[in-house]
């Protein structure tokens, strides 16, 4: 006579009453789960459309200092540690909003993990929507055609400020949203240079041509180096995303293509490096 098997230790497992979705697969290790059919909390392909009028949170001393210095930036409230507030005052920052004094842990709970907040968090409105008419007598503009990495765009904004460009243009889609990551990567530059966001880059370039700008797209197949290209008196330099470059329709809206010739064994540059080099060359040719 056979002996019946012993029951498993612990509580018996209750069978699931949920029917699996057809074709459903297990979730890969480490990938966060979904959060319903709307916006996903962490990552995922579905996101709620951002509210362009929703307040933003900026952090980091350089970023917050630049936001206070920008007359176009509407500010609401500063959350800061006592030490960080003192550092802002030592930098000559006039704090013109209510201040909440907190400990660093309180700020850390409001920013992304590992964010270097330096003890300050400023609630602001998005910057106003600039357009071509708002640039006045601008002579040097940088246009980014679907450059999506906020760290690259932040670095480009810093270069634009360092080399005194009049504005940086990006598209509404396929470019970083204005927010804490972009602002922190730009280290204050987001509030130091005009940032135009356009619906259609090719249309914007066509309108800029009518306003007297020469439009030059950087392309490795350009007929001549940028140093030898006629840049006119008012210039828009157009750079594309790494890999695909400037899109065909955007190139067709430009007056010409130009290339950056590298003398070393590596012939191509990261888009942020290409931006700083092309701005430097352009300033010299324009006599700025």
Q: Tell me the pLDDT of the chain (288 aa) as tens digits.
A: 445 555 444 444 444 444 444 344 433 323 333 333 333 333 333 444 445 556 789 999 999 999 999 999 999 999 999 999 999 999 999 999 999 999 988 888 888 887 889 999 999 999 988 898 888 899 999 999 999 999 999 999 999 999 999 999 999 988 888 888 898 889 889 999 999 999 999 999 999 999 999 999 999 889 999 999 999 999 999 999 888 899 999 999 999 999 999 888 888 888 999 999 999 999 999 999
Looking at residue 267, its pLDDT comes to 80
- The pLDDT score that the predictor gives to residue 192 is 94
Nearest 5°: the CA angle 261, 187, 166 is 60
Rg of the chain over all Cα atoms, to the nearest angstrom: 25
The count of residues in the chain is: 288
d(CA 253, CA 215): 8
Q: How far apart are CA 33 and CA 150, in angstroms?
A: 25
Would you give the DSSP letter of residue 95? -
How many CB atoms are located within 10 Å of the residue 269 CB? 16
Task: Tell me the CA end-to-end span of the chain in Å, nearest whole number.
Answer: 100
d(CA 191, CA 195): 9
Q: What is the pLDDT of residue 110?
A: 86
231: left (phi over 0), alpha (psi -120 to 50) or beta: alpha
Give the C-alpha separation, 160 to 137, whole Å: 17
Tokens found for residue 189: 């530059």
143: tokens are: 């246009």
The rounded distance, in Å, linking the Cα atoms of 78 and 58 is: 10
What distances in angstroms separate CA 44 from CA 26, 54, 79, one per listed residue?
A: 16, 22, 31
Give the torsion sign (CA, 278, 282, 283, 284).
positive
Phi, psi of 250 (to 5 degrees): -75, -40
pLDDT recorded at residue 51: 54
**Residue located via tokens 């280290």:** 187
Q: Residue 71 has what pLDDT?
A: 94
CB 165 within 8 A of CB 142: yes
pTM tops 0.95? no
Q: Which long-range contacts (CB under 8 A, 24 or more apart) does 83-91 make?
A: 83/119, 84/118, 84/119, 84/120, 85/120, 87/61, 87/119, 88/61, 88/64, 88/120, 91/61, 91/65
**Between vectors from CA 48 to CA 46 and to CA 52, what angle results, nearest 5°?**
140
Spatial separation of the C-alpha atoms in residues 285 and 234, rounded to whole Å? 11
pLDDT at 53: 55
């Amino acid at each position: 006579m056979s002996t019946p098997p012993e029951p498993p230790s612990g509580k018996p497992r209750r069978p699931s009453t949920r029917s699996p979705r057809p074709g459903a697969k297990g979730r890969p290790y480490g990938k966060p789960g979904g959060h319903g059919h709307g916006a996903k909390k962490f990552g995922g392909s579905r996101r709620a459309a951002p509210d362009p009028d929703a307040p933003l949170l900026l952090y980091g001393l350089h970023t917050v200092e630049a936001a206070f210095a920008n007359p176009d930036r509407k500010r609401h409230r500063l959350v800061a540690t006592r030490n960080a507030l003192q550092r802002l005052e030592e930098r000559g920052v006039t704090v013109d909003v209510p201040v909440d004094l907190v400990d660093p842990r309180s700020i850390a709970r409001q920013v992304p993990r590992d964010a270097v907040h330096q003890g300050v968090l400023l609630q602001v409105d998005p910057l106003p929507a600039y357009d071509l008419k708002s640039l006045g007598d601008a002579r040097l503009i940088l246009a980014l055609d679907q450059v999506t990495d906020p760290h690259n765009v932040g670095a480009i904004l810093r270069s634009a400020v360092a080399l005194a460009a009049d504005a940086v243009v990006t598209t509404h889609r396929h470019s970083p949203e204005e927010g804490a990551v972009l602002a922190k990567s730009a280290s204050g530059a987001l509030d130091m240079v005009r940032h135009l966001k356009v619906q259609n880059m090719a249309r914007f370039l066509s309108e800029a041509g009518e306003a007297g700008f020469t439009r030059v797209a950087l392309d490795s197949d350009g007929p001549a180096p940028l140093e030898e290209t006629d840049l006119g008196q008012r210039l828009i330099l157009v750079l594309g995303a790494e890999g695909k470059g400037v899109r065909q329709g955007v190139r067709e809206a430009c007056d010409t293509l130009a290339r950056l010739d590298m003398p070393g064994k590596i012939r191509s540059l990261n888009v942020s490096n290409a931006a700083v080099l092309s701005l430097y060359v352009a300033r010299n040719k324009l006599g700025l």
